Amino acid sequence: MVHEQVVHGAVAGSRREAGEGHARLTALLVGLVWAEVLWAAAQHARGDVSPGIMALGGLGAQLMFCAFEALVAAMVWRAQDRPVTWSALFTRVLAASACEAFAVAIVTGHIPMARPLALLLCGMRASTGTWITSGFGRAFAAMGLLTLVRIMLSAHAQARLARVPLVRGLWVVGSLHLAARLVMWWGSDLLQGRSFQP
């Protein structure tokens, strides 16, 4: 009986290690995809900064955003008595961000696509107009099908890590995503001299 428990524990441990290895490899590959997408976008951007510096800065910003998202998610899960490590969350969040990299490639013209399909996948940021002038527009311009897929992938991965149902993972990830959009909306309006007060 004890021998069976030891063997079962060893098998479960090796599966967890293999799963973490796959997650790290996937995150590394997504990081390389981000680097290529940002490099291609920087090649077409006009400015005094070299494309390499722009791409490197963009990649650094994306990695910091994913790291911060993983940190906040880890705190939320810990508050629910579901301790999940930051490193495990970071690899999953970065892997899910592949959807965002795809959206950036579409918006920047790296992946040619019909405008209606681009709008469906990427949200209003794929629009050629300059309608995004309000804080609300800036905060929610990226709400397209790819953003919803990213939320779903991250929720699935986080729910598995926390060993909770997918609905609970969706609640956590969706709430954090909405909170980030609301903060972006509020911050953008403040920078433009607007506020919620009359």
pLDDT at 11 over 50: no
pLDDT at 49 over 80: no
Instruction: Output the pLDDT for position 29.
Output: 95
Instruction: Output the pLDDT for position 52.
Output: 83
Tell me the pLDDT band of 125, cut-offs 50, 70 and 90: confident
In this structure, the dihedral spanned by the alpha carbons of residues 65, 83, 24 and 12, taken in order and rounded to 10 degrees, is: -170
pLDDT at 19 over 90: no
Q: Which amino acid is at 151?
A: I
Angle in degrees, CA 82, 84, 85, rounded to 5 = 155
> Minimal CA–CA distance to 89: which of 22, 12, 162, 164?
162
**Tokens 């696509």 -> residue:** 113
Share of the chain above pLDDT 70, in %: 81
- Condensed to tens digits (0 to 9), the pLDDT of residues 56-109 reads 999 999 999 999 999 999 999 999 999 899 999 999 999 999 999 999 999 988
pLDDT at 45 over 90: no
Tell me phi and psi for residue 127, to 5 degrees.
Answer: -70, 145
What pTM was computed for the model?
Answer: 0.81
